[in-house]
């Protein structure tokens, strides 16, 4: 019954919450200490997750997520999950302007590890499938239910306000969503020279297709977001093609992340699969090559 209810919410709004999914015994103090000091990959994610500390969490995920995927009608790789962690540091103050402007780089960056509106990038660069993909967030360090949450634009909201946008982002990743501000107008004019740019306009920034820089959308994401309030040990399940961002960095927060991966993802767990991706690399689009370069170097060091 729980899997059915979760799948129903994922199908309509794109996310679902399971309260108290983890218990105190699932997370040791040593595990928390490790995550507090672990190095981040250049995309801000902690990939160094000690296996023994994850055993009970993996068991709970494995008992729930396959049933959810089956009820939802998506196909994930049985028994294969990607685990990582995301650490947000308490930070205040406005985002910093990045000059000189680079049309392939955000014009502003927020403090504290806060991510702006997006669909995840590396998962899509690797597998090009955000339909058969679920993202699970489990806060393990979070002192306030009201702070350091995710903001989400629900699937049914996008469908109602901009059906074309929903159609174009379905199953997609490697996208950002940005609003034109007074101090970023010139950046948008560089990125979209054929568009009439006005403050308050919202754009999709396409970071995958070389043939497009993005396009204007029909509504203000900030006016239609929801911010599910999570306690430590709650579980937020989200489809990978749901628009989201870090809502704030009002407190320190560490979350365990679990990705339920599409079937073809298993190939990259072998040296042959990694070799195959490397051989295809020169023939990929420029945006995909630029972003996969560091990932491939790291993957071969670990192989």
Query: Is 146 in the same domain as 280?
Result: no
Provide the mean pLDDT of the chain. 93
What is the tens place of the pLDDT at every residue in 75-107? Answer: 999 888 999 999 998 998 889 999 999 998 999
Residue 249 has pLDDT above 70, yes or no: yes
Contact 213/256 with Cβ under 8 angstroms?
Answer: no
What is the tens place of the pLDDT at every residue in 62-73? Answer: 999 999 999 999
DSSP strand pairing (118-119 vs 175-179) = antiparallel
What is the tens place of the pLDDT at every residue in 210-224? Answer: 888 999 999 999 999
What is the tens place of the pLDDT at every residue in 172-204? Answer: 999 999 999 999 999 999 999 999 999 999 999
pTM: 0.94
Look at residue 61 in the predicted model and tell me its pLDDT: 96
Query: Is 112 in the same domain as 83?
Result: yes
Look at residue 160 in the predicted model and tell me its pLDDT: 98
Contact 118/238 with Cβ under 8 angstroms?
Answer: no
Region 232-246 average pLDDT: 98
Look at residue 43 in the predicted model and tell me its pLDDT: 59
Question: How many independent structural domains does the chain possess?
Answer: 2
Q: Torsion-angle region of residue 171: left (phi > 0), alpha (psi -120 to 50) or beta?
A: left
% of the chain with per-residue pLDDT over 90: 81
What is the tens place of the pLDDT at every residue in 48-64? Answer: 788 888 899 999 999 99
N-terminal to C-terminal alpha carbon distance within the chain: 41
Q: CA 139, CA 257: separation in Å to the nearest integer?
A: 9
Region 36-47 average pLDDT: 78
Query: Is 274 in the same domain as 228?
Result: no
Residue 154 has pLDDT above 90, yes or no: yes
Report residue 150 as tokens: 């995710």
- 84-98, 138-152, 155-169: lowest mean pLDDT where? 84-98
Range of the domain at 135: 2-269
Region 162-166 average pLDDT: 98
Residue 164 has pLDDT above 70, yes or no: yes
CATH assignment at residue 71 = 2.60.120.620
Residue 41 has pLDDT above 80, yes or no: no
**Widest distance between CA atoms in the chain:** 57
Look at residue 248 in the predicted model and tell me its pLDDT: 94
- Which residue in 139, 208, 215 sits closest to 178, CA to CA? 215
% of the chain with per-residue pLDDT over 70: 98
Query: Is 80 in the same domain as 96?
Result: yes
Overall size of the chain counted in residues: 303
Residue 257 has pLDDT above 90, yes or no: yes
Query: Is 175 in the same domain as 122?
Result: yes
Query: Is 46 in the same domain as 157?
Result: yes
Query: Is 181 in the same domain as 286?
Result: no
Query: Is 245 in the same domain as 275?
Result: no
Query: Is 164 in the same domain as 50?
Result: yes
Query: Is 71 in the same domain as 155?
Result: yes
Query: Is 59 in the same domain as 112?
Result: yes
Query: Is 151 in the same domain as 118?
Result: yes
C-alpha distances in Å from residue 283, one per residue of 41, 108, 210: 25, 31, 13
- Which residue in 261, 178, 275, 246 sits closest to 217, CA to CA? 178
């Amino acid at each position: 019954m729980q899997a059915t209810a979760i799948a129903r919410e994922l199908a309509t709004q794109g996310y679902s919450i399971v309260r108290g999914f983890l218990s105190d015994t699932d997370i040791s103090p040593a595990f928390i200490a490790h995550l507090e000091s672990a190095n981040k990959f250049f995309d801000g994610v902690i990939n160094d997750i000690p296996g023994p500390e994850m055993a009970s969490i993996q068991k709970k995920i494995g008992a729930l997520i396959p049933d959810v995927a089956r009820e939802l009608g998506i196909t994930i790789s049985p028994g294969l999950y990607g685990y990582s962690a995301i650490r947000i540091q308490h930070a205040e103050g406005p985002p910093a302007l990045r000059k000189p402007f680079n049309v392939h780089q955000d014009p502003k960056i927020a403090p504290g590890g806060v991510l702006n509106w997006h669909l995840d990038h590396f998962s899509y660069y690797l597998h090009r499938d955000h339909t058969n993909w679920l993202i699970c967030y489990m806060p393990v360090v979070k002192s306030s239910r009201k702070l350091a949450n995710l903001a989400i634009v629900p699937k049914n909201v996008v469908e109602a306000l901009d059906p074309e946008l929903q159609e174009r982002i379905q199953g997609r990743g490697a996208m950002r969503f940005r609003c034109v501000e007074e101090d970023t107008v010139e950046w948008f004019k560089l990125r979209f020279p054929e568009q009439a740019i006005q403050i308050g306009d919202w754009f999709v920034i396409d970071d995958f297709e070389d043939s497009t820089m993005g396009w204007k959308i029909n509504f203000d994401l900030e006016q239609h977001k929801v911010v599910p309030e999570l306690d430590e040990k709650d579980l937020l399940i989200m489809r990978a093609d749901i628009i989201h961002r870090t809502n704030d960095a009002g407190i320190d927060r560490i979350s365990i992340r679990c990705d339920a991966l599409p079937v073809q993802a298993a190939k990259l767990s072998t040296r042959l699969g990694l070799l195959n991706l490397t051989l295809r690399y020169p023939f990929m689009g420029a945006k995909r090559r630029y972003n996969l370069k560091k990932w491939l170097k790291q993957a071969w060091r670990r192989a």
